Chain A
Amino acid sequence: MAIDKFTGENSIAFIKSEQLFDFARRNSLWYIAFGIACCAIEGLMSASGPRFDFDRMGVFFRNSPRQADVMIVAGTVNKKMAETVKRLYDQMPEPKWVVAMGACASTGGPFREYPNVVLGVDKIIPVDVYIPGCPPRPESVQYAFIELQKKIAKRTEERLAARNS
């Protein structure tokens, strides 16, 4: 459904409304500005900085969970923090996605042996994309967002295929 604005060719696109919504969704993945630990510096601050500039992918930070689509869990979740993470996730409107950034959010990372640390944020909330690394480079986070966009597109295709069959 590429629209050529110079020639006017294909200037009308016939797509299903679900495809249209998903096109919009996956190109404006707004994440919640919720940095827990070290990864926040790389995944949220450097990411919105001038070199990596996530804005050009439509990835931008919102300060309120009510306006966010994606939650980047950037850091170690401990037992005191777990309830807050869960509560923030519940406050986000559907559809919503979770990126577990770094070793700590994925499995507990270097702190996994400490009894106060939760072994991965997937114990609390469902996770869509895991990023390895401690901390992952901002490029990895960028790649995670590209994968997330693919995942969103694929899910729509699957849903449509299931309805047609």
Chain B
Amino acid sequence: MSDICEETLGVGLLCEGQHDPGTPPAGLRRAPSGVDGLTTEHLIINMGPQHPSTHGVLRMIVEVDGEEIVAAEVSVGYLHRGIEKLAEHRRYDAVGTLMDRGDYVSGMMGELAFALAAEQLMDVEVPRKAHWLRSLASELNRLASHLVWYGTFGLDTGAMGQFLYAMREREALLDILEALSGQRMMFNYIRPGGVVADMPLGVTEKIRAFLSTFDMYLDEYDQLLGGNEIFQGRVKGIGTIDRQMALAFGLTGANLRAAGVDFDIRKARPYAAYPELDFEVPLGSTGDAWDRYNVRMAEMRQSARMIAQLIDGMPEGEHTAKVPRIIRPNAGEVYASVESSRGETGIHLISDGTEHPYRMHYRGPSLYAAQALEEILPGHLIADVVMIIGSTDIMLGELDR
């Protein structure tokens, strides 16, 4: 096997055993099987890495007894491309390009996390307007990211219409982000010291035009998917992550708040312009997929509220502090985290005073959500797997990094 791989692929691969499904290891949680007196032969099902509902290149190895899942193993690494290693060889203003490609649906938040970490070492005073622009960019991007989640979560249940509506709204948001930063997805907009450019003319009007209809549309979309009885029947009561399990598995973001834990970095460790904004943190109660759906929908409403405040109160002034062309921060070790659309994106940055970071660790919230799947999937039906993966909103780019 391994010989064939190396010959045909010619890139020096080691393919041996890669596609052997194997049984999930004994240490993982196993659901009791045959409780109703009916036991069938256990079957190992391999799902992914190419699967339309795994939201990227996630691979699941699922052991099933009939239709019921006995054990599940999450296999990742199909998108491991060394963001942490390459950051050690990039200059401080260029690490943002890598962070964009980490969580590629909400790149602004990754950039912001790195910029906040670098600024702690740089003794630089970030102007007030930069803070506001950063929050504005983050919230616009959070909306775009949650819309992708909303569209694809519906696709997982078998619905199609909501995907087209979500994509329509997202295109309007990407137009705004493009006007703001110059790119549709990989912005590299937030850099240490501020943001790369001031708000161009006409963006405020564009955002106002978007907001004037968005709330109304969002209610309609919520009704379209969440008001559907079939959707509710499929989503309610599955994939329950209670408070204790959420804390044990290190979940953050909407997954944690759906379990009723009131923790949002924007409130608990305020950064950028969030201390000055008026918003609520939506909470769930039981922590099932339906709660996670509702928390994310409510978060979108809060984001729209924040964007309105941000464009109304946008201060005057410089958009960036004076930063040397080659940034050489002080030596030291810091940690900065932001509330990205998937949870807490953290950057553990170690600098040795040179122009490259000595070590950058990128905490992706999806990694923690994905390993919780091994715990919550056993006991569910096989049809619920894609629903539970969809409800946790994992992003493989920041999982594998």
Contact = CB atoms under 8 A, between A and B. Distances in A.
A and B touch in the complex (CB under 8 A): yes
Interface of A: 32-38, 40-42, 45-46, 49-51, 63, 65, 75-76, 78-84, 86-88, 104, 110-111, 113-119, 123-124, 134-135, 137
Nearest to B5: A83
A78 B105 contact: no
Given A46-B171, A81-B49, A81-B57, 9 more contacts: A36-B57, A38-B397, A45-B151, A78-B80, A83-B19, A84-B49, A110-B98, A114-B86, A124-B9
Question: What does DSSP make chain A's interface, helix, strand, loop or mixed?
Answer: mixed
Interface stretch (B10-18, B24-32, B135-143, B328-336): B10-18
Nearest to A75: B79
12 contacts: A36-B78, A37-B397, A45-B151, A46-B167, A46-B170, A46-B171, A75-B79, A78-B80, A86-B9, A87-B19, A113-B86, A116-B81
Interface string B74-93: 00011111100110010000
Contacts of A37: 56-57, 79, 81, 101, 104, 396-397
A38 B170 CA distance: 15
Contact of B79 (A41, A65, A78, A83): A78
B47 to A, nearest CB: 12
Contacts, number: 122
A33 B15 contact: no
Given A80-B80, A82-B13, A111-B86, A49 B168 contact: yes
B33 to A, nearest CB: 29
Contacts of B77: 78, 80
A83 B273 CA distance: 46
A49 B185 CA distance: 16
Nearest to B97: A110
B9 A123 contact: yes
B164 interface: yes
A124 B185 CA distance: 28
Contacts of B186: 38, 134-135
B11 A124 contact: yes
Interface string B159-171: 0000110011011
Interface in B339-388: none
Contacts of B12: 79
Given A49-B164, A86-B8, A113-B89, A80 B184 contact: no
B148 A83 contact: no
A163 to B, nearest CB: 31
B95 to A, nearest CB: 11
